[in-house]
Structure 1
Amino acid sequence: MPGDDAPQNASLVRATAVLRLPLIALLALLAGPVPDDNVDLPWYLAVLVGLLVADCCWLLLTRRPRVVRWLPWASTAVDVVAFVMLAAVSGGPTSLVQPVFFMLPVAVAFYGLPWLTGSLGVATAVGYLAVWLTRTGTDGGPGVPPLVFLHAGFLLWLAGATTWLSIVLLRRRQAVDELSRVRRLLVAQALQLEERERTDLAEKLHDGPLQVLLAARMRLEETRDCSREGRDTARRDDALSAVLMQLRTCAGQIRSVVTVLHPQVLAQLGLAEALAELARDHTARTGQPVDTDIGEVGRPTHQTLLYGVVRELLVNIDKHARATRVSLFLGADPGRLVIRVVDDGVGFDPAIIRSRVATGHIGLGSHLARVAAVGGVMDIRSAAPTGTAVLVSVPDGVDRSEPVSP
């Protein structure tokens, strides 16, 4: 099959080559154990040996690091020529070899080319019928047995079935290729995001807590000098008060950074309370009211994932939705946890998520991949100007080893 995916093409050609070997063995029975008076034995054996040599060549060529583009076409063309020649030298229309024509569309179906599979299947049926229609005067006269039309019908049905099979295989291959492409892109973008987050964290620590600590150290050194020299006590007390305030500021900044990295309330009180606090923080920061309907679900296995999804959704609502109200629901269905986040904003086209991933904006796209990786579903429904509704459902994996604090 033409394409750039050489390993997959090689595996398809190799599979048909392996399937062809027992077929050649069965065809060889007509030259010995199952004699047929219509078989022109020398020519029949010559064609059969040529088909076997070609099949061995296909097996050897598929071991090459890069399979040539014409290999699948060549193997199919050789099959067609060989089967026609085998039928011709073993009785023509009445040849016992004719059932092998049913193998042709089946073999080509694996290549994922529906048009080729359908064309070859129809051509096989038409050719099979044409051989009988052009038959003259031998083996029962010019008439065509009704069974021949039945066989032609079977071949046409096989052409339709294998074409549909080829379409299904092509779609699945395209889906797998797209998933692989998105996965590679997400991994690359995730690595870049991790590096960017480390840089941002370093800058936050450097520009915030570190600067405050340096200022506090300078104040402490000044206080120490005042104590050694017996200077004004009031000045020393003012310096100590300033140091205390700076240390409190530093502690708050560090606590803020730690909360972003891993919310303590999530580990201590569970998912329900963590989401409630997240909703309160969102309202305090943005002024957007969040209507919450949060049920107690303990500490599910995927609580960190769910917390991250809700946080990402609230950030996106703040940045893009221009919403006046948000609702947040957390509940449990049999065997699953369900989160629903709805806003009354401007809405957006969910199809742009894939294009945004391609341009490096992987926030929501990465959460979609993570939810799918744990066996969950993230359904995004949005339309302007009715806002956006996001439903997240993941398997229930509640950790009940410790009771949840009230």
Structure 2
Amino acid sequence: MSTPAERALAQFQAEASRTTSLLRFGLVVLLGVTGGLDQNRVEGLAFWLVLAGYGAFAVGWFTKVTRRPVSPTTGLIATSLDLLAVTVLSLLAGGGGTLPTLSYVVIPVMAAFRYRPALSAGVGIATIGSFVLTAAIERPAIETTTLAAEAVVLAIVAVATFLLSVVLARRAVRIRALLADADALTAQVLDAEARERRRLAEDLHDHALQTLLVAGQELDELDGAEAADEALRAGIREIREVVFALHPYVLDEAGLVVAVRRVAERAATQGRFAVTVEGQPLPAGPHDRLLFGVARELLTNVAKHAKAEHVTVALHDGPEGRTLEVADDGIGIDRSVLAGRLADGHIGLASTRARVEGVGGRFTLDTTTPGTRTVVRVPGEVPPVPGA
């Protein structure tokens, strides 16, 4: 499962592919317009047949990149086909000095959006070389100085787009580094919070709870202290609940499934619903404490707001990592109400989502079916911290 930094970079590359595909439509239009204006040099149907084929390729490629991302190698093949198409069409139009050769200037611009300066430089050099080769093969009846001027303009555009590619690539690297830092900071915050919870739980268990237990034993030896004894035992139960909430010792001793089952049963008692916990015992995972906290947050919300009759909790491992699913048959969540609660400062679900995504996981909330279904996936391994 990818980290937020990797997903952001993939999103940048997907946007670059779509932008390049849109520019390709402009290139097709430019070739058609210049070919129509230079009809005295464009002879026969070959030019228009090749242009029609290139237009079909542009449509097909745009459909491809809008449906799913393409690899850098596949993108390089597309750029090579762009250069080949412009070269062939320029030759069919009469070579150097014809209007369709103006289309060469678009090729380096298309390459600049791929966040790969080396590719941008290579495409720029190849474009200039193809332009010069086209002029040399056709030997047009045009002054050498004019061709040289056009080549210089094309070279300037190639250099400018290369520099643009460098700037975009550096920004992408910087953004990725910032996201990686945010990932590492989130992990540190979660660890610090877990340590603090554990310390508070140990303090309550080792001091306050033990004192109350001793007091309870002393009350057992006295007569007529039933009311005080009951109040004391209620206090002991409450402290034990707080201790468990602060640090789920069952998670360390019996594992995630057992700990989540205990939380689910408590929430079921509070919310008066039936609960089913599905899942076999799982080996300890790097994000079990996070999943436990998410399960507790979701089940608490169900108990308070869902008015559900039955809740299902499922835990299992898969190729993408460890998955927690909480589904209820309650009244569901109105997204407008959820947005309003967020604006009022109720950030429970938003905070939970941020924590999951901070470790490279995914948080999906589905309210289209009756009730609410939440699926949380976290990676099976802790991603390495860049530079570590």
Normalization by structure 2: what TM-score? 0.51
The structure-2 alpha-carbon separation of the partners of 1:133 and 1:92, relative to structure 1 and needing over 3 Å to count, comes to closer
Check 1:164–1:67 CA distance in 2 against 1; reply closer, same or farther (3 A cut).
Answer: same
- For residues 5-404 of structure 1, the aligned pairs below 5 Å read 6-32=10-36, 34-133=37-136, 136=139, 138-139=140-141, 144=144, 146-218=145-217, 224=222, 358=385
Q: Is the CA contact 2:91–2:134 (under 8 Å) kept in the aligned structure 1?
A: no
Distance 1:197 1:165, change over 3 A: same
Residues 113-147 of structure 1 show CA distances to partners (whole Å, capped at 9, x for unaligned) of 111211221232243234445654x525xx51x23
SS at match of 1:9: helix
Q: Give the direction of change, closer, same or farther, for the CA distance of 1:65–1:89 in structure 2 (3 Å limit).
A: closer
Specify whether residues 30 and 150 from structure 1 end up closer, same or farther in structure 2 by C-alpha distance, changes over 3 A only: closer
What is the distance in 1 between the residues matched to 2:34 and 2:197? Answer: 73
Structure 1's unaligned 5+ residue stretches are 229-256, 258-356, 362-406
Q: What's the CA shift for 1:178?
A: 2.1
Distance in 1, Cα, partners of 2:185 & 2:157: 41
- CA–CA separation in structure 2 for the residues paired with 1:67 and 1:105: 19
TM-score (norm 1): 0.49
Give the corresponding residue for 1:306.
none
Whichever residue aligns with residue 26 of structure 2, its letter is P
Give distance in 1, aligned partners of 2:137 and 2:26: 32
Aligned length: 226
The 1:91–1:358 alpha-carbon spacing in structure 2 relative to 1, beyond 3 Å, is closer
Percent identity reads: 30
**Which amino acid in the other structure matches residue 27 of structure 1?**
L
Q: Give the superposition deviation at 1:179.
A: 2.1
Q: Determine if contact 1:6/1:67 at 8 Å carries over to the other structure.
A: no
State whether residues 35 and 99 of structure 2, in contact with CA within 8 Å, keep that contact through their aligned partners in structure 1: no
User: What one-letter code is carried by the residue in structure 1 that aligns with 2:16?
Assistant: L
Residue 35 of structure 2 contacts residue 100 of structure 2 at CA under 8 Å; is this kept in 1? no
Distance 2:159 2:38 in 1: 34
Q: CA deviation at 1:96?
A: 0.4
The SS at the match of 2:115 is coil
Greater CA radius of gyration, 1 or 2? 1
How far off its partner does 1:6 sit?
Answer: 4.7
Aligned partners of 1:207 and 1:41: how far apart in 2?
Answer: 94
Q: Structure 1 residues 114 and 69 mapped into 2: Cα distance closer, same or farther (>3 Å)?
A: closer
Q: Shift in Å at residue 69 of structure 1?
A: 4.6
Q: Amino acid of the residue matched to residue 54 of structure 1?
A: F
CA contact (8 A) 1:11 1:62 kept: no
Post-superposition Cα deviations, 1:276-335, rounded to whole Å, max 9, x if no partner, equal xxxxxxxxxxxxxxxxxxxxxxxxxxxxxxxxxxxxxxxxxxxxxxxxxxxxxxxxxxxx
- Cα offset, 1:26, TM superposition: 3.0
